[in-house]
Structure 1
């Protein structure tokens, strides 16, 4: 297994850690395991750090794969899967903590499921579908929006009461829906399937 794929697998491995530190643990568990009190108090900070590092590795593994000619079928499968799992985990946890409305998670995760379905359909026909530019742009907006929401609108909260974080999250949702539409339209045509 090459270095690029190892980094991608590391990114997937960071997702359970992200969930564990993001979680709020009830007092009866904290009494049994004292270190969970630290997570209850500081877990959000660590969740942000893990999310940002995991998101950054997406660029790193892609760069290594291209520079050292380490592009593999496994990498083509795992890289977008890692992105989808990380973003989905963050959205679900944020809904659980009432940081975002649930419809945002439904739109973004729904788009990812639809695109995965199209890729499975393409694979069955022997066609490998690459991510398009709209998908890459929406991922950047998703990562920025999730980070801002996790940070509680920091640093904007120091200068305005306007919810910049939620505004960017709504914009990311709109871009996600649009990129899903474009992906479906372009690739259904390529696969010669009718809508």
Structure 2
């Protein structure tokens, strides 16, 4: 089956790894703190370290699956559907876990979720009109900033909140750009 190719399996792996990130962060308590990191002022547990490593591996599959799909000509409709969905599932799972751990404010998660719903809705309208709204460079930068901020927050790096603020700014900015570019699609007179 052409749809179950390596890039699509990598995308699906992000969906399956997302719960592991949540379980490692929320329910697994392995050790109090890692002495090596404590020496540098970081209160990092083995659970945090494992969750962060799983999240990084899952996030890296996004780069790998896209590269393989383009290079080998394995772009499928399933891939176009599952790739952005798996990105959102992974990021949202980590954000919800960080929110539950009080490492992140609810308003930040709400902005990210609202922007993603808005852009996904815009893409559905475009698809119904036979148009495709591709990911922009700004959208990709937003995703990278979110991933970096999440990793920093999982690893309890002190300046992580400032990277998350930057991520929120990029999230809002990219959302505004997507809506501005698709405004005619959502305001048609029928």
TM-score interval w.r.t. the shorter chain?
Answer: 0.7 to 0.9
Residue 18 of structure 1, aligned match among 18, 21, 44: 21
CA distance in 1, matches of 2:141, 2:110: 19
Residue 165 of structure 2, aligned match among 167, 170, 193: 170
Per the alignment, residue 121 of structure 2 pairs with 117
Residue 67 of structure 1, aligned match among 63, 71, 76: 71
Residue 188 in structure 1 maps to residue 183 in structure 2: yes
Per the alignment, residue 6 of structure 1 pairs with 9
Residue 98 of structure 1, aligned match among 86, 99, 102: 102
Displacement after TM superposition at 1:128 (Å): 2.2
Question: Mapping of 1:50-89 within 5 angstroms?
Answer: 50-89=54-93
Q: CA deviation digits over 1:153-186, x for unaligned, max 9?
A: 1xxxxxxxxx421001001001001100101110
TM-score, length-scaled by structure 2: 0.85
SS in structure 2 of the partner of residue 44 of structure 1: helix
Q: CA deviation digits over 1:111-170, x for unaligned, max 9?
A: 1111111112222222222111110010010011111111111xxxxxxxxx42100100
Are the equivalent residues in 1 in contact too, given 2:7–2:68 (CA < 8 A)?
A: yes
TM-score, length-scaled by structure 1: 0.83
CA distance in 2, matches of 1:108, 1:93: 14
Per the alignment, residue 40 of structure 2 pairs with none
CA distance in 2, matches of 1:141, 1:103: 17
Q: Segments of 4+ in structure 1 off by > 3 A? A: 36-41
SS in structure 1 of the partner of residue 182 of structure 2: helix
Highest RCO, 1 vs 2 (Cα 8 Å, sep ≥ 6): 2
Q: 1:7 to 1:106 in 2, by over 3 A?
A: same
Q: CA deviation digits over 1:75-132, x for unaligned, max 9?
A: 1111111111111111111110000111111111111111111112222222222111
Residue 46 in structure 1 maps to residue 50 in structure 2: yes
Displacement after TM superposition at 1:37 (Å): 5.3
CA distance in 1, matches of 2:73, 2:140: 21
Q: Structure 1 unaligned segments of length 5 or more: list them.
A: 25-35, 154-162
Q: CA deviation digits over 1:6-48, x for unaligned, max 9?
A: 1111111111111121113xxxxxxxxxxx5548863222110
Size of the aligned set, in residue pairs, is 174
